[in-house]
Every structure is written in structure tokens, then in C-alpha cells.
Amino acid sequence: MKKKTQALVAAMLSAAFGTAGAQTLPDTMTWSSYDVGSAGYAEASAIADAFGREYGTRVRIQPSGSAVGRLQPLLQGRVDYGYLATETFFATEGVFDFASRRWGPQDLRVVAGRPSSFGMPTAADADIDTVADVAGKRVAYVAGNPSINVKCDAVLAFAGLDRDDVDLRMFPTYGAAMSSLAQGQADATCTLTTPSQMYELAESPRGIHWVPLPPDNEQGWQRLQALAPFFAPFEETVGAGISEDEPVPMMAYRYPMIVVRADQSEEAVYNYIKALDETFDLYNDATASMPRWDLERAGHPPVDAPFHPGAIKYLEEQGIWTEADQAWNDRRLKRLEALRAAWKDALAANEDADDQAFAEAWAEARRNTIAALESGDDDNE
């Protein structure tokens, strides 16, 4: 009854756009996503199929294995929506691949994003019960993979640790790092709960243990979110060594997230998220994770960039968007705008600097900008 009432109210309010939102989807759209075979590609494909069946919209999905390959066509207007992950945060912050002169903080917005848990699996025989117990243990990182590694840094920060406090083992590939625990080459790593290597670890003589991140540890979460503000507490019930009867408190980020440029029209984004909501029953059983696209779960921060006004409008109409969500979005938008202004200043002040000098100048400017924002937040409190 509640769902029917909300749908009726949404249909009435959508008159502000002249017609029901989902009925004004474009005839064709292009989306970017992770590679074929990834969760992002599979879920984008399921939603695209639902849009086609319900509204006749033809969607072409453009997969890419690199962050730049997924984002560049979006920023250039060659794709309409991106099904992205942590590269969204990196791009809005101007870090890693996006710290070079040709990039800098990008003006991106989020439409919606389903929660995806992430945690620290350990070998059960390594005697690691809490994050603090990881000190001095062998922790597997992945060379050239900042998306995984910054998340692992965030887990360490939960206990006030960093890379210097552990025996860091760098592996050349993601698969090698994930397999290293069962092979006795490491004691802990950081990943999703469902990779095949985690099930292999659970069945191996070493066994598996997921380090808990208790949601009531306020100081731990403050340290974690200072490094990675897109994470939130999450109780996982699916994965290797995890079940409904034995859930694990860990952290969740949004993957995939539906991302657009900030200048995407409010009407277009409103229509898109409305279609996403209206076709939920057509795609929610496509994969085990698709039920998490319910907007009650996928329509709240934290996410990697501010929400788009068109998405907020629809979420407000559905009674999903809260005052706390808006407060978070205001802070995130303020941070993005401050970083974009600092980037312009850094470019002007270091016009003749070589790449290394510029990178150092920007890193310092970014740190100072974020510190000033955090100091301001403290003053306001």
C-alpha cells in the first residue's frame, strides 16, 4: 500500500516536467562500465534490458578496464551515464590518475549507487581478531591498484594504523594478492566478500576470518572516513564464511554508481532515476546483488560525489531523501567546489613547474584545502 501511494504521489508531482518522467527517456543512450564479466557490466546490462522492455530505449554499453577509459567518454559527452566505482572519488578529488595537469578535480554527480561491502579477510590461523591485531602481520596489497589499496589503508586507519605498521606484501595482480592467504604468503588482505579466492581460503586448512568494523566504534569510523569519506557501516550476510546466521559488520561503498556530469539536465536525471525505480521488478533478480538497487538502499549517501539535483528531486518525492542526506550532500559539494578552486590556483601558481614539482604543489594545496574545510566544520559545530 505504501509503495502504491508513493508511486501515485510521484506521478502527480512529475507533472512539473510536463509528462511522466520515464516516458521521456531518450530513444537511445550510451553508458560506460567496467569490463565484460564484471559486476558493473552485468548490472548495467540488466538495467538496460529493463529499460528496453519497458520503454523501448536502446542502450549501448561501452566497457573499459581502466578508470580513464570509463570516465573520459562521460566527460567528453560521448556517453550519457557511467556505471562507475571509486574512480569517481579519485576524479572529484584530483588524485592518482587525475592529479596530472590534464585532469584535476572533475565536476561529477551521482544518480544512485547500490551498497557493496568491503572488508579485511584474514587467515583464521593468523590470530587476527581485530584491526589492531594486524600490526606486524603480512598484508597483501596490489601493485598499481589504488582503488583496492586506498580501501585497505582505510581499514588500517580504523585502528590508527598505516602501511608502516604492517608487513606490507605487494603482489603484481589482484588475483595473486587474493590467493596469497591460502598459499601462506600473507595473513590478511582487503577485498569484497565473494571472490572465488575467498571461498578457496575458507575451504583451505588456514580457514577464513573477517575482521569486524563495529559501527559503534565512533573514533574508528572517524579515522576511516577521514581517509575515505565514501564508506559507511554495513552488516554483510553474503560471502565466504559469512551467512545470515553469522553476519559480519564491515564497511560498504557504492559499486556500481550511476554517475553523470554536473551539467546533465535536471529533467534528464529525474527521468532516469524514475525509470530505474519503476523497472526495479524487471531487473531485481538478475544477479544476487540487484535487490540492493532498491532506492531505499541505493538513494542515500555517502557516495563518491554529490548527488545530482534531478536525483534528489525524485528521492524527495518518494520520501527517501532525508535532512541528514541533504546535510551530507551540502558538505560534499562544498568540498568539491573548494578543491576545484584550489586546483585553478595551483595551476596558475605553478605554470612553469615541471610535472614532479607541480604534483607536490598540488598535493600540498589539496591537503591544506581539506584541512581548512575540516577546521571550518569543527568551528561550526
pLDDT digits (tens, 9 = 90+) for 274-327: 999 999 999 999 988 899 999 999 999 999 999 999 999 999 999 999 999 999
Look up the pTM and report it: 0.83
The per-residue pLDDT for range 78-97, each reduced to its tens digit, is: 999 999 999 999 999 999 98
The secondary structure of the chain in percent helix, strand, coil, rounded to multiples of 5, reads: 50, 20, 30
The set of residues, in sequence order, having a beta carbon less than 8 Å from that of 5 and lying 6+ positions away, is none
Number of C-beta neighbours around residue 43 at 10 A = 24
- Please indicate whether the domains covering 2-113+254-332 and 118-252 agree at the CATH topology level: yes
pLDDT band at 150 (very low <50, low <70, confident <90, very high): very high
Give the domain ranges of the chain.
2-113+254-332, 118-252
The per-residue pLDDT for range 362-379, each reduced to its tens digit, is: 999 999 999 999 887 544
Region 118-252: CATH code: 3.40.190.10
Q: Which CATH superfamily is domain 2-113+254-332 in?
A: Periplasmic binding protein-like II (3.40.190.10)
Reply yes or no on whether the pLDDT at 151 is more than 60: yes
Nine-digit cell at 118?
Answer: 568491503
Average pLDDT of 149-161? 97
Under 8 Å between Cβ of 274 and 314: yes
The per-residue pLDDT for range 350-366, each reduced to its tens digit, is: 999 999 999 999 999 99
**In percent, how much of the chain has pLDDT > 70?**
93
- Tell me which residue of 196, 178, 286, 198 sits closest to 248, measured CA to CA: 198
